[in-house]
Chains A and B, each alone.
Chain A
Amino acid sequence: MSIDLIRTSTRLAVQTLCALIVLAGLLRAGIVFADPASDELTKMSLSDLAKVEVTSVSKTSEALQRAPASIYVISHDDIVRSGVTSIPQALRLAPNLLVTQTSSSAYVISARGFGGNPNAQNFSNKLLILIDGRSVYTPLYSGIYANTLDVMLEDVDRIEVISGVGATLWGANAMNGVINIITRASYLTQGTFIDAGAGNQEQMAGARYGDRIDGDTTYRVYGFAFHRGAMELANGSSAEDGWSKGQSGFRADWFSERDTVTVQGDFYRGTENELDNSDALLLGGNIVTRYQHHGASSDLQVQAYFDQNEQFGPAGDTAFVVHTYDIELQQTIATGTANRIIWGGGERIYSYGITNTATFLFEPPSRALTLGNVFIQDTAALSNRLDFVLGLKLEDDPFSGWSALPDARLSWGLSDRETLWLAASRAIRSPTPFDDEVLEKLQTITYLVANTQFHPEQVTAFEIGSRSQASDDVSVSITAFYNVYDDLRTVEPASANIFLPLYWGNEMRGDTFGIDAWSTWQLSDWWRLSPGVSWVRERLSFKPGAIQLLGVDQAADDPSSHATLTSSMNFAHRTSFDATLRYVGALPNPELPHYYDLDAGLGWQPSNGLEVSLRGANLLHARHTEFPAPNGEQITRSVIAEARLRF
């Protein structure tokens, strides 16, 4: 960083902090802040306590204190308070993720680098995203279609964001991170909820109703629809990429003493405007069933789901349908008090059909792929403070066959307030049809051919982390990682002398190291500050003898660091103010300067069951670019007013 940059950054950070202090001071001094005596609480009955409204500035999101992994939990409260209206926006609350918006509906989500470089047809493809146990990354190229990620945010319990390898438990694609979106059981979402919002960029409305069928069975049904407006092109004209989506769904849970059965599903339809073209169409749905048995010393879970996703580009463009059938079994056995063994297995079938264009072809255009796995993991309590985790997953993917994904972790509770952990693990990004079966043409000239010899991209990761509660009011989590990559995807010429046709090879390797760190400072009952920073250094090189057609930058165009500072405040009269300042470092190639931006929201609860909020996103600039044109559009400032009603 240059001196200027340091100066500017420091100034901005200090200005923001001071502005927050000023605002807090004014509100606190002027409005008179409430500090109710907790003695009143002891006089209340249990049913009165159940009705007491609590402020949400609390430290409940420090779940998984002893987990030997870099886990950040976005709680339900974090989501509601921040006023975000979509999952990608909510993921910005996790300091160990980088979320880059490229158009009205598209986001690039990455952890620890490897956000991709679209100029080389390399996309962020090393993350696994699960919604209630259902995998939602696309099998076609291992990336994420952000337009399929919508859930009813009101029903989300938490989002667990794990940066680093999670392959042994989660498997395929859990290479640089896992995002686990977990919704609440239906007995926790009873009653009616209605919300509606309108702003310059987005208009939305949604409703949910939950009830019980009998003493043991509850359900909820929901529906929502939104329109998100177009972004802008570099020349300031509209990108005409506004989009609309409607989604409905349900969840039913049946509980008995030892058994739980859950059935849930979602159905959606969306249209996306395209510049100078007809609209694109998005259709899909899924049904998930889950059976859980809690035994005296073992738990069993069986889950099966069906998922359908159809994306139709504008007329003449690629269209595809993917059907996913998945069944998984998992058993947890506690042997004595010292060991906890989890073992299981699963089989997934992807069946897809693609409408090829004249220049971009999948060969064959339709087929079924099967992905199978078995795994076992033992957590051994070596002592009261020392846990050792050893696991192995064997995964059979359709292109490269069986792979071993081992994992070893040690968690050492230095005290009840401090945990130190170490991990070594291996993961792969399995080949996809996009690596093995794609043909690309320039008019009639074939310039890229399929490579059935494409290997999985591999990583061996070493991590050391610490999570500590430095005082009642300060918690800190720091993880340092060193990842060794091999067989990274490159584009290769036919031979040293003949250029065309190109093919996808595995001629790059390298290592990355860096730090994920975040902290929570409870400055007072009503004010919490949460800074977070992520820093990564990538050292990639070609293997000996590689032709090095494009530079190492084809693997990724990542900033070396990004950071967030979130402030959450509660004021009198049930008002709250939340703000997140984010910094994203410069992108190297293609270049993009570093930038800061600010999201902020003001919330007010005029009566029980009613909340109104005003939220602004990207407030510092009327428009800014998060990814270089033409792959990234100008993201415009947005403001939305929203009302939420519960009864």
Chain B
Amino acid sequence: MEVPQRLCRYVHAGAAILAAAMVSPLIPTAHAAEPYTEDAVKAAYLYRFAGYVNWPDERSTDTPFTIDVIGAPGVARELRRLLPGHLLNNRPAQVHEISAIRDLGGAQILFVGAGHADILRSLMPGSNLPPVLVVTDEQGGLSEGGALNFLTIDRNVRFEVSLTTADRWGLKISSDLLGVAVRVQGGRRQSSMSREFSRPRPRRVT
């Protein structure tokens, strides 16, 4: 039959070239300004955020600094690749993938992947939980309970901040972090928008 033969030929050619493709990563690469994956950049942000946030109950340096991840296997994978060997706030860092809020075990940062922010309904500040920096990843994440929310604008991963939520958890967020944010909700009014985006303008008289 003609069809199976042609299929075979295509499959063979495809397989050969796929094999070549598999081997090609072994070829040394030069890549200065090549893009990173969104997951890798988000993982790097989560790693970096720790340095700009003050937890009220910073405990001894013996307990590990924990980032819990719900609904974002890609970001969790990047964090697993990235965290070993690094200290976060002078503590060994670890990442846990959890499946529900009830599994939240004293983590400093909780990252909730896109489409999962509704589970935050069962998480209220002060509900006998240690303070946690909740980071969401969807439009409207701040109103669902995120203190920080990722936004992808053009090809950059940016974030917005809810100082109201951070305050409720007793978290202090450094002004350096606010300066990079696209938008800051709540808190001091003069910092309510990104400095980076704003033009020099006369200070508003209040």
Contact = CB atoms under 8 A, between A and B. Distances in A.
Contacts of B124: 337
A593 B14 CA distance: 30
Contacts of B198: 212, 215
Given A18-B14, A216-B192, A52 B177 contact: no
A90 B100 CA distance: 35
A415 interface: yes
B77 A472 contact: yes
A572 B34 contact: yes
B82 A58 contact: no
A358 interface: no
B71 A29 contact: no
Contacts of A14: 7, 10-11
A505 to B, nearest CB: 44
A130 B188 CA distance: 36
A500 interface: no
Contact of A11 (B7, B40, B48, B81): B7
A214 B203 CA distance: 10
A7 B7 CA distance: 11
A58 B44 CA distance: 16
A22 to B, nearest CB: 5
Contacts of A67: 115
Contacts of B176: 46
B169 to A, nearest CB: 15
A416 B48 contact: no
A56 B14 contact: no
Contacts of A55: 35-38
Interface in B29-45: 29-31, 33-41, 43-45
Contacts of B153: 188
Interface in A14-38: 14-15, 17-18, 21-22, 24-26, 28-29, 32-36, 38
Interface in A389-448: 415-417
Interface in A132-148: none
B106 interface: no
Interface string B58-75: 000000000000110110
A15 B45 contact: no
A212 B193 contact: yes
B157 A18 contact: no
Interface string A560-589: 000000000010101000000000000000
A211 to B, nearest CB: 8
Contacts of B6: 11
A223 B4 CA distance: 53
A646 interface: yes
A235 interface: no
Given A29-B20, A49-B41, A50-B158, A65 B116 contact: yes
A106 interface: no
A276 interface: no
Contacts of B157: 49-50, 52, 54
A35 B40 CA distance: 11
Given A11-B3, A50-B180, A53-B156, A525 B37 contact: yes
A26 B73 contact: no
Given A22-B17, A212-B193, A257-B164, A47 B180 contact: yes
Contacts of A25: 14, 17-18, 20-21
Interface in B153-206: 153-158, 164, 176-177, 179-180, 182-183, 185-187, 189-190, 192-193, 196-199, 201, 204
A66 interface: yes
Interface in A142-171: 157-158
Contacts of A299: 143
A340 B38 CA distance: 32
Interface residues of A, number: 79
Contacts of B190: 215
A24 B78 contact: no
Given A38-B40, A42-B44, A53-B155, A66 B116 contact: yes
Nearest to A73: B115
Interface in B89-118: 98-102, 113-116, 118
Contact of B21 (A11, A29, A53, A570): A29
A25 B115 CA distance: 33
A212 B38 CA distance: 27
B156 A51 contact: yes
Interface string A191-228: 00000000000000000000010111010000000000
A543 interface: no
Among A11, A26, A36, chain B packs the most CB atoms within 10 A around the CB of A36
B52 A38 contact: no
Contact of A46 (B17, B116, B177): B177
A44 B44 CA distance: 8
A262 to B, nearest CB: 13
A294 to B, nearest CB: 5
Interface in A58-81: 58-60, 62-67, 76-77
Among B13, B71, B155, chain A packs the most CB atoms within 10 A around the CB of B155
A55 B33 CA distance: 12
A41 interface: yes
A264 B195 CA distance: 25
A381 B156 contact: no
B14 A17 contact: yes
Contacts of A187: 182-183, 193, 197
Contacts of A34: 29, 31, 34-35
Interface in B117-156: 118-119, 121-122, 124, 137-139, 143, 151-156
A237 interface: no
Contact of B71 (A158, A182, A416): A416
Among B114, B154, B182, chain A packs the most CB atoms within 10 A around the CB of B154
26 contacts: A18-B10, A21-B21, A22-B14, A24-B21, A25-B18, A32-B27, A38-B44, A46-B177, A49-B45, A49-B157, A50-B156, A52-B157, A53-B36, A54-B155, A58-B38, A58-B39, A63-B138, A65-B71, A65-B114, A66-B115, A158-B139, A214-B201, A215-B193, A255-B192, A337-B121, A574-B33
Given A29-B24, A50-B158, A572-B29, 7 more contacts: A29-B17, A41-B36, A49-B157, A65-B115, A257-B164, A294-B143, A337-B121
In the A-B complex, the 9 residue pairs with the smallest Cβ-Cβ separation, listed nearest first, are A25-B17, A416-B99, A34-B34, A41-B44, A34-B31, A63-B115, A65-B115, A18-B14, A25-B21
